Amino acid sequence: VQKNITNPVGIMLFKQSFYENSTEDNDALLKQIPANYQNDETIVKIKDITEKQKATAAGQKFIDFEMLTPDGKPVKLSDYVGKGKVVLIDFWASWCGPCRREMPNLVEAYAQYKNKGFEIVGVSLDQSGEAWKDAIEKLNITWPQMSDLKYWNCEGAQLYAVSSIPHTVLIDGEGTIIARGLHGEELQTKLAEVLK
């Protein structure tokens, strides 16, 4: 792709493989794409995703959004983030098997750290309010939840360029993003480090 980014073959390969690259790699490749491809629908989409990834990368300030709680009350991310607690945003959905398998890990982390300045905010990509509420109960989720029930068009997921779930974003007490995409042991290790 790097050798051919200025010709049709390179462009085609880039469109097929961009999601495997780092944000930095995509950013560098996008800058080399010839002008006649800049308005290509897929290239425009990749640019948009890359800009959102850069805006929500580790080291950046969190971006706020508003959704509804399971009982229909409006709630903002900023109601939890930037108030001195370390916050984990968990993008998930009741229909997502890997999300459900990861949940006991989050339940355990929450039990361990919730009294030590830690909060989790669940952002659901569900479409059905019933399925969402049912999963919250079945999976013993006791932390705040929000959703717009828009499936993959979930506004929060769009803002943070979330392309697969489960996906986590860890934010420090000041509202700066520390890490993204931590799960399992990796997440436990990072929490132990930032919440000691």
The residue type of 7 is: N
pTM of the model: 0.88
What 3-state class would DSSP assign to 17? helix
Residue range 131-164, pLDDT digits in tens: 999 999 999 999 999 999 999 999 999 999 998 9
Residue indicated by tokens 């993204």: 180
Task: Give the CA dihedral 112, 64, 19, 36, nearest 10 degrees.
Answer: -170
Residue range 81-105, pLDDT digits in tens: 999 999 999 999 999 999 999 999 9
